Amino acid sequence: MQELTHWINGKHVKGTSGRFADVFNPATGEVQARVPLASKAELDAAVADAAKAQPKWGATNPQKRGRVMMALVGLINRDMDKLAEALSREHGKTIPDAKGDIQRGLEVIEFCIGAPQMLKGEFTDAAGPGIDMYSMRQPVGVAAGITPFNFPAMIPLWKMGPALACGNAFILKPSERDPSVPLMLAELCKEAGLPDGVLQVINGDKESVDAILDNPTIAAVGFVGSTPIAEYIYGRGCSNGKRVQCFGGAKNHMIIMPDADLDLAADALVGAGYGAAGERCMAISVAVPVGDKTADALIERLIPRIEKLKVGPYTAGNDVDYGPVVTAAAKANILKLVQSGVDQGAKLVVDGRNFNLQGYENGYFVGPHLFDHVTTDMDIYRKEIFGPVLSTVRAKTYEEALGYAMDHEYGNGTAIFTRDGDTARDFANRVNIGMIGINVPIPVPLAYHTFGGWKKSGFGDLNQHGPDAFRFYTRTKTITARWPSGIKEGSAFNFKAMD
């Protein structure tokens, strides 16, 4: 069986803790590799080496760092097929979806080519007599990123790209469920010209995460994953004096107004609800049609579309709409929640519980489910299911629908489908959620904007990628300079306005 490694000082390095996790092929249920789980000592040693490598990289001019990013873009494109295959084999998503995962990460690396522009700083000439004032952005030093299983290329690239472009050393702790692609990306960073030691990929679980949170050399930590872990990391990281940003779970609502194009809305819901088996933090998991007439017409359109969905392994090529979920435990949890929905009185109008894929009986496939008449007290409404399950909550009015989205504890993304500009504008302005789609079901901002949820979906002040990432991975320093020709007085004892 393949034994995966860590990536330390520009080389693959075997784990020494003696602890491993199995890496499954979710389509077959087979263990295809084992990944080492780093000890605190391994993590601390990698951080110490990163801290030694960082000053030289931080002092490299930003255009040279931008050129490494440019080379990385070319290399990722060169290896797109290979990366996508490795990603699908461990995650289970289809090859086109795996390429989308890589592409949305790649776009952030493209943005990072502009590091010189992002890091230019500010200058005020003649702020006082003979006085100039300027601000510069300096790297924080060593930063770390802890990432989830569901986007094993995109989120590591969102984290490492801006951190490295800003001149930091970076410790990546990817998900132990699908660690191969992050290791392949590290190899490509070296080929692109990144100096050894500047990027360390440490595989592991809670032990290595806690070691990151407690290591005094690490100045900033970015996390993406489930909300309970996000809250834990935010609390422990902040109390250790680090800069921390954590992005958590989601329950994204899509409101369908009576004037919406219902065919467009149904198509959008099927893609956004079931794509990637619902394992996206921006998946739509709650449909909120306004009015019973809209709800009946929507359900009538959804059922045949959902029943036609093709579920299968990524090796079946373009014939598949979505693949298996990531683990047997994830599958069991989804089916348990579906059963709770039935027990608590929701109407299961598409029942995927008996889904079986011939030849893949040990794979973690889950058939698509659609619930109608879901109420806000049910577990399927309150909890993140992270599977191919769409819940319909019927609202009588727009205000009631808006209230559902606003009252839910999560606030990652939401969408409204309507032809009415006034309603769309009101929704975008009032809703307390981070990313809003207007007739767009999955409104993931592009690389040059920023990505982040509100409420229990995001902890910390700054978002991911875009200009916020350059703020997160740098510290501002402001210099006030006066040269002897500008000095007109002796000692000054009082603050006063500069004239």
**Pair 101, 154: CB distance under 8 Å:** yes
Q: Is 386 in the site for ligand NAD (CB under 6 A)?
A: yes
Binding mask 6-25 for ligand NAD (x = CB under 6 A): --------------------
- 412 binds ligand NAD, rule: CB under 6 A: yes
* Residue that the structure tokens 């698509």 belong to: 368
Asked if 147 touches ligand NAD (CB under 6 A), the answer is yes
State which residue, 205 or 420, has the beta carbon closest to ligand NAD. Answer: 205
Q: Could you tell me the two tokens for 127?
A: 């702020």
Beta bridge partners of 478: 135
Q: In the complex, which residue's CB is closest to ligand NAD?
A: 225
**137-157: buried (b, 16+ CB within 10 Å) or exposed (e) per residue?**
bebbbbbbbbbbbbbbbbbbb
Residue 133 has φ and ψ, to the nearest 5°, of: -130, 130
Pick the closer one to ligand NAD by CB: 181 or 260: 181
Q: What CA–CA distances, in Å, run from 289 to 129, 260, 334, 394, 432?
A: 64, 10, 24, 6, 19
Helices assigned H by DSSP within 150-276: 154-165, 180-192, 206-214, 227-239, 262-274
- Which position among 112, 166, 246, 281 bears the catalytic label? 281
Instruction: State yes or no: residue 206 binds ligand NAD (CB under 6 A).
Output: yes
Distance CA 90, CA 27 (A): 9
Q: With respect to ligand NAD, which residue has the nearer C-beta, 221 or 311?
A: 221
How far is the C-alpha of 289 from the C-alpha of 298, rounded, in Å? 8
Q: Which is nearer to ligand NAD, 175 or 294 (CB)?
A: 175
Residue 441 lies near ligand NAD (rule: CB under 6 A): no
176 binds ligand NAD, rule: CB under 6 A: yes
Question: Any idea which residue has 């994830």 for tokens?
Answer: 330
Q: Is 281 a catalytic residue?
A: yes
Question: Given the complex with ligand NAD, which of 262 and 385 has the nearer CB atom?
Answer: 385
For ligand NAD, the closer CB: 384 or 468: 384
288 vs 391: CA distance, rounded Å: 9
Among 108, 115, 146, 334, binds ligand NAD (CB under 6 A): 146
Least separation, in Å, of the C-beta of 231 and ligand NAD?
Answer: 10
- Minimum CB separation of residue 174 from ligand NAD in Å reads 6
| Element (DSSP H or E) covering residue 101 | helix 95-112
Residue 281 contacts ligand NAD per CB under 6 A: yes
Question: For 275, which DSSP code?
Answer: G
User: Quick one: which of 42, 44, 384, 468 contacts ligand NAD (CB under 6 A)?
Assistant: 384
Residues that bind ligand NAD in the complex, under the rule CB under 6 A: 146-151, 173, 175-176, 205-206, 209, 224-226, 229, 247-250, 281, 384, 386, 412, 453, 457
Catalytic residue ranges:
281
